[in-house]
Amino acid sequence: MIILGIESSCDETAVAIVEDGCTVLSNTIASTKEVFSMSGGVVPEDAARRQVECILPVLHASLKESGLDIADIDAIAVTRGPGLLGSLLVGTVCARTISTLWKKPLIGVHHTFGHLTSVWLGADPKPCFPSLTLSASGGHTDLWYRTAHTKGELLGRTRDDAAGEAFDKGASMLGLPYPGGPSIANAALEGDKKSYKLPIALAGVDTFDFSFSGLKTALKNTVKEHPDDTNNLAASYQEAICLQLTDRVKRALKKHPEIQEIHLVGGVSANLRLRELTREIVSDIPVRTPSEIRLCTDNAAMIASAGYFIAKEDGIPTDVFETSATIPLDAFIH
């Protein structure tokens, strides 16, 4: 089954074509990182305006790269939420138009579910369940126990800020450029992660949840005392974030020893220190990450892949879905 995926939940405009959930035929992205690096973050109105400018050129480029026409596509998958509503509507209107004109089935996909399926892109298509998935980005931080692609249980989520947002705000405090994740990771290479002992939230609490607001406050106070020690602060801050994330993975493995694989997905999964720490605590269990770093961040290939697995396990939906800035993932993993 060949799926055309469209992703426009935030500032990236992306279109991809994926076969059978794993084989990427094209994956085109119009990035705005340089545009928003000057403002220190995404401006919703500007992001939506950029989506309008980019969506058709990106669609044409993706079709050209794949060597296919829309007539060759079996179904359309599009991010229906969550995200910035103005940006989301650009993608969903485009998808609905293609679906109507070419009479193609339309599958609405939860953005986070797309991240959960990103580990299958360009990888061995044979799944291994049950699996434990840590999904961390700028908008969410979740821990999932999954028994199939669309079946599982949410073990924990952030109680306040997302891990990716913590990286962005931390970078801003340290005077590093947006996006914060890569900036802090690069600075940390020149620093000592043991320089400062920053708090790991909920360390003594029986929970799989996350919290990063206290860590951000601790960094803010430490920066005031040591304003010029950027690299050591970056290394210590990154370590505190990664230790909290892997601590919850470790707890989940104790509760569910039957877990066969660990999956790290979302923008934060590109962090090499997080990958290193995870492999240290689960040396006897395979750790899957997206096959390319660019598949960790927002892209349409993961949306196309998600659409395939929804169709395969639950059937192609026939109802008209709603585009929403806030939408629970429970309807996609049940």
Tokens of 163: 């891990």
Q: Cis check for the bond before 125: say yes or no (omega within 30 of 0).
A: no
pLDDT of residue 320: 75
* Mean pLDDT, rounded, for 23-30: 97
pLDDT of residue 273: 98
217 pLDDT tier (thresholds 50, 70, 90): very high
Whether the predicted pLDDT of 166 surpasses 90: yes
Q: Where are the alpha helices (DSSP H) in the chain?
A: 33-37, 44-66, 85-102, 111-117, 163-173, 180-188, 213-225, 230-255, 272-281, 301-314
Region of poorest pLDDT, from 37-46, 72-81, 259-268: 37-46
Whether the predicted pLDDT of 55 surpasses 60: yes
CA distance linking residue 1 with residue 206, whole number of Å: 43
Q: What is the pLDDT of residues 235-286, one digit of tens each?
A: 999 999 999 999 999 999 999 999 999 999 999 999 999 999 999 998 889 9
Whether the predicted pLDDT of 36 surpasses 60: no
Query: From residue 180, how far is each of 24, 121, 164, 170, 233 by CA, in Å?
Result: 28, 25, 8, 7, 13
CA distance linking residue 20 with residue 181, whole number of Å: 31
pLDDT of residue 211: 98
Query: What's this model's pTM, rounded to 2 decimal places?
Result: 0.93
pLDDT of residue 34: 61
**Which one, of 223, 123, 202, 111, lies nearest residue 164 by Cα?**
111
100 pLDDT tier (thresholds 50, 70, 90): very high
* Mean pLDDT, rounded, for 48-74: 96
* Mean pLDDT, rounded, for 170-194: 97
CA distance linking residue 206 with residue 322, whole number of Å: 36
Region of poorest pLDDT, from 102-116, 133-147, 204-218, 315-329: 315-329
* Mean pLDDT, rounded, for 140-155: 95
Instruction: Enumerate domains of the chain plus CATH numbers.
Output: 2-119+294-331 (3.30.420.40), 127-290 (3.30.420.40)
Q: What is the pLDDT of residues 122-132, one digit of tens each?
A: 987 777 899 99
CA distance linking residue 23 with residue 29, whole number of Å: 17
Q: What is the pLDDT of residues 286-316, one digit of tens each?
A: 999 999 999 999 999 999 999 999 999 988 8
The mean of the pLDDT values for the chain is: 94
42 pLDDT tier (thresholds 50, 70, 90): confident
* Mean pLDDT, rounded, for 11-25: 96
CA distance linking residue 190 with residue 236, whole number of Å: 11
CA distance linking residue 6 with residue 97, whole number of Å: 12
* Mean pLDDT, rounded, for 90-106: 97
Tokens of 147: 């028994």
* Mean pLDDT, rounded, for 161-172: 97
pLDDT of residue 327: 87
pLDDT of residue 19: 98
